[in-house]
C-alpha cells in the first residue's frame, strides 16, 4: 500500500479561512492510497450491497428485523452469530457465494454500530494520523 500526501494549495487554504475553518485548513491533506487488494472497489461493492438490503425483504415497513433484535439488547450476539453462520456457510451452500462474504462484512458493520452505542460513541469520528 502506498500513501502520499500533498500540502493544500494557497487557494484551498484561503477557502477554508473564509469559511472560518482555520484549524482544518492547517491540517488539510489529500491522501492517495494505492490499494493492493482492491479494498476501494470492495468497499463500493459493500456499500451497494448494504444499500440494496434497505430495498429488499430485509426491510419491512421501513424497519429491519435487526433493529428489533438490537433494541431488545441482543444485537451483539445476533451479529456475531450471523457472522459465524455466513462464514461457515461460505463455500458450502451454493459454492463460494460472494453474498455470504458480503453478509459477514455487513453484520460486522452492524456489530461495530452496536459496540459504539454500548460504549457511548454515538457520533463516530475517524481521524487519520500521519
| Mean pLDDT of all residues in 46-73 | 84
pLDDT at residue 92 in the model:
94
Model confidence band, residue 13 (pLDDT cutoffs 50, 70, 90): low
**Which single residue is written with the C-alpha cell 453462520?**
85
Q: Which residue has the higher pLDDT, 118 or 2?
A: 118
pTM score, two decimals?
0.70
CA-based nearest residue to 102, from 17, 22, 44, 59: 44
pLDDT at 9 over 90: no
Judged by DSSP in three states, 2 sits in: strand
Structural contact between residues 29 and 8, judged by C-beta atoms closer than 8 angstroms: yes
pLDDT tens column, 66-95: 889 999 999 999 999 999 999 999 999 888
Amino acid at each position: 500500500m502506498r500513501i502520499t500526501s500533498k500540502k493544500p494549495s494557497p487557494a484551498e487554504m484561503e477557502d477554508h479561512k473564509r469559511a472560518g475553518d482555520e484549524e482544518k485548513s492547517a491540517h488539510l491533506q489529500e491522501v492517495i492510497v494505492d490499494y493492493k487488494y482492491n479494498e476501494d472497489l470492495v468497499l463500493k461493492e459493500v456499500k451497494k450491497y448494504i444499500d440494496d438490503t434497505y430495498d429488499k425483504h430485509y426491510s419491512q415497513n421501513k424497519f429491519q428485523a435487526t433493529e428489533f433484535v438490537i433494541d431488545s439488547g441482543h444485537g451483539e450476539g445476533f451479529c456475531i452469530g450471523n457472522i459465524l453462520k455466513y462464514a461457515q456457510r461460505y463455500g458450502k451452500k451454493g459454492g463460494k457465494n460472494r453474498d455470504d462474504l458480503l453478509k459477514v462484512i455487513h453484520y460486522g458493520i452492524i456489530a461495530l454500530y452496536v459496540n459504539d452505542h454500548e460504549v457511548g460513541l454515538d457520533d463516530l469520528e475517524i481521524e487519520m494520523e500521519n
